[in-house]
């Protein structure tokens, strides 16, 4: 899902996002989300580009690069580091926890030899925890990219990962 940023035309991507959401200060989060969605993360070049294209004192739009970094570090869904080919998101909240989430989490970490937030050396997997995604009636819940797995048991982890081999 993540294309290396060098293969993408970042100025065009940013331009399209600004066109869609408007060249104004309050559109910064949707614009950054758009870039994040397209590239899997927001590369440094994209921050520069957003500032370049948006900052326009004559129109009363003031954007500093530091503000963009401040936003990206605050919002959990915006990433500033490249992620693996597949991103595994595990829900760590109480509803998933009481129905067996801990064992699933331990199995995931063990199988991938990853800690939270890390990416495998081959760039294939990134393992992160996620806030509650509102699917608590089928917990424990694991998301692989956009694919949802509910009622997950530790025994199923091997199978689930195998689908992405």
Smallest gap from Cβ 33 to other proteins, in A, equals 5
Query: Site mask, other proteins, residues 103-132, x = CB under 8 A?
Result: --x---x-----xx------------xxxx
Check residue 27 for interaction with other proteins (CB under 8 A). yes
For residue 119, what are the β-bridge partners? 126
Handedness of CA 56, 58, 60, 64 (dihedral sign): positive
Smallest gap from Cβ 165 to other proteins, in A, equals 25
Smallest gap from Cβ 6 to other proteins, in A, equals 25
Strand pairing of 147-149 and 142-144? antiparallel
Check residue 77 for interaction with other proteins (CB under 8 A). yes
**Binding residue (CB under 8 A) for other proteins from 92, 111, 148, 156:** 92
Instruction: HSE, CB side, 13 Å, CA atoms: give it for residue 87.
Output: 19
- Rounded distance, CA 83 to CA 126, Å? 6
């Amino acid at each position: 899902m993540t294309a290396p940023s060098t293969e993408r035309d970042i100025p065009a991507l940013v331009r399209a996002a600004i066109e869609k959401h408007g060249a104004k200060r309050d559109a910064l989060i949707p614009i950054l989300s758009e870039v994040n969605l397209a590239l899997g993360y927001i590369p440094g070049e994209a921050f520069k580009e957003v500032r370049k294209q948006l900052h326009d004192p004559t129109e009363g739009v003031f954007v500093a690069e530091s503000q963009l970094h401040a936003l990206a570090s605050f919002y959990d869904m915006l990433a500033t580091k490249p992620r693996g080919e597949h991103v595994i998101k595990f829900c760590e909240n109480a509803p998933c926890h009481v129905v067996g989430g801990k064992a699933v989490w331990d199995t995931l970490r063990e199988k991938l030899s990853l800690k939270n937030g890390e990416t495998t050396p081959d760039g294939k997997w990134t393992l992160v925890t996620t806030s509650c995604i509102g699917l608590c009636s089928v917990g424990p819940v694991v998301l692989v990219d956009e694919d949802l797995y509910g009622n997950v048991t530790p025994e199923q982890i091997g199978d689930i990962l195998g689908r992405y081999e």
